[in-house]
Amino acid sequence: MQNTAQVQTVYMVAVVVLIAVGLYCIIAKRELLKIVIGIEILTSAVNLNILVMGLGDSGVDALAQSMAVISMSIGACIAAVALALVVDVFRHYKTTDIRKLRRLRW
C-alpha cells in the first residue's frame, strides 16, 4: 500500500514535469511543428496521469488502461490533422513561423 502510494507520487511528479514542458513548448516556441510536439507532450502527460490514477496494489485498473488507449488514438488523430494543417500553412506562407500567421484579424 505504502509502496503504491510512493510509486503514484513519483509518477505524478513526472506528469507535472511533462505538463510544464508541454506548456513551455506551446507558449514559448515559434515553430508550428514544435507547437504540435508540445500538444503531443501534453496528451502523453494526461495519458500517464490516467494510468497513475488507476494504479492499485494489483496493477493498473482495466478501465484506466482502456481509457488511456482510446485517448492515445484520439491524440494521434489530432496530431494527424495538425500536421496536415502545418503542411497547408507552409504552402500558403512559405514558412512555419507562428508569428507570420497574423493576417486573420477582425
Q: What minimum distance in Å lies between the beta carbon of 62 and other proteins?
A: 7
Q: What minimum distance in Å lies between the beta carbon of 26 and other proteins?
A: 7
β partners of residue 31: 97
Q: Please say which residue, 3 or 55, places its beta carbon nearer to other proteins.
A: 55
Q: What minimum distance in Å lies between the beta carbon of 25 and other proteins?
A: 11
Pinpoint the alpha helices (H) of 1-106.
2-28, 32-53, 62-93
Q: Please say which residue, 2 or 77, places its beta carbon nearer to other proteins.
A: 77
β partners of residue 60: 55
Following CA atoms 65, 68, 70, 74 in sequence, which dihedral angle do they give, to the nearest 10 degrees? -170
Which amino acid type is present at position 88? Answer: D
- Per DSSP, the three-state class of 3 is helix
Residues that bind other proteins (CB under 8 A): 19, 26, 32, 35, 39, 42-43, 46, 49-50, 52-54, 61-64, 67, 70-71, 74, 77-78, 81-82, 85-86, 88-89, 92-93, 101, 103-104, 106
